[in-house]
Amino acid sequence: MFTFRISILPILACLPVQAALAQDTPVPDSIAQRALACTACHGKEGRATSEGFFPRIAGKPAQYLYNQLRNFRDGRRQYPQMTYMVAHLSDDYLKEMAGYFSSLHPPYPPPQVVIVLPTTAERGRRLVRNGDAARNIPACASCHGERLTGMLPAIPSLVGLPRDYLNAQFGAWKDGSRRAHAPDCMAQIARQMNPEDIAAVTAWLSSQPVPADMRAEPGAAHKLPLACGSHPQ
């Protein structure tokens, strides 16, 4: 029987050197460094990943991002990983995170290739641009801006979002697992839409090219088509 013996002395000898190197490389205490935890899901610089269910957070209005962080912390939105991340963070810290990601403007990737019937795409376009007054469904553009890049201070962009994410959010509003401050305008709208409406809207939105300038539109003088608690007027 053979016995193999491996000396651990070289390994032990390296440990003090590695510890010293670690001590000589301080980690900067910056919001960019602390926000790295967010990039595992939302991608580098908050530009989103290819997973499909995680939204881009870079460049969104700071007030919108702050509202969503508070909604996760306070139970109005449900996603265990997000709740765990923000459960014990203060309002001031959430504002700092929101401001950091809002200030980032990396380029967007090309839109998704979405294969649907031309009639479905046209139905989506009409709902986004014109709504359906007979069923009390306002146009998406009437709140999210003519270019669908959002509206200050707290309405997000719609272009550049994955279709899977958009579908999931409509479902969450319809079943009440996503909520906002009352009156919850998106929950009201989602409940007026049937599955065919939602499929058409998300297909059309996710396939649209992203404008070079994705800044949210000014919203001070813009009156929304219905009362919205997260965007008081």
pLDDT tens digits along 75-119:
999 889 999 999 999 999 999 999 999 999 888 888 888 899 999
DSSP string, 112-180: P-----HHHHHHHHHHHHT-BGGGTB--THHHH-TTSS-BTTTB---TT--HHHHHHHHHHHHHTSB--
Q: Is 82 annotated as a binding residue?
A: yes
Strand (E) positions, 65-212? Answer: none
Q: Is 193 annotated as a binding residue?
A: no
pLDDT tens digits along 2-57:
343 434 444 334 444 455 445 567 777 888 898 888 988 887 777 766 666 788 89
CB atoms within 10 A of CB 96: 16
Nearest to 68 by CA among 209, 205, 219, 231: 231
Q: Is 228 annotated as a binding residue?
A: no
Residue length, the chain? 233
DSSP string, 187-231: HHHHHH--HHHHHHHHHHHHTSPPPS--PPBP-TTPPPSS--TTS
pLDDT tens digits along 14-23:
444 455 445 5
Q: Are 114 and 163 in contact (CB under 8 A)?
A: yes
CA distance 156 to 61: 6
Q: Is 14 annotated as a binding residue?
A: no
Q: Is 41 annotated as a binding residue?
A: yes
Contact partners, residue 105, CB within 8 Å, separation at least 6: 58, 59, 214
Nearest to 199 by CA among 159, 160, 161, 168: 168
Q: Are 61 and 152 in contact (CB under 8 A)?
A: yes
Q: Is 185 annotated as a binding residue?
A: no
CA distance 64 to 66: 5
Between residues 24 and 134, which one has the greater pLDDT? 134
CA distance 150 to 148: 6
Nearest to 152 by CA among 40, 231, 85, 205: 231
Report the pLDDT value the prediction gives residue 24, as an integer from 0 to 100: 67
The domain 36-206: what is its CATH number?
1.10.760.10
DSSP string, 103-118: T--PPPPPPP-----H
Report the pLDDT value the prediction gives residue 210, as an integer from 0 to 100: 87
pTM for this model (two decimals): 0.81
∠ CA 215-217-221, nearest 5°, is 160
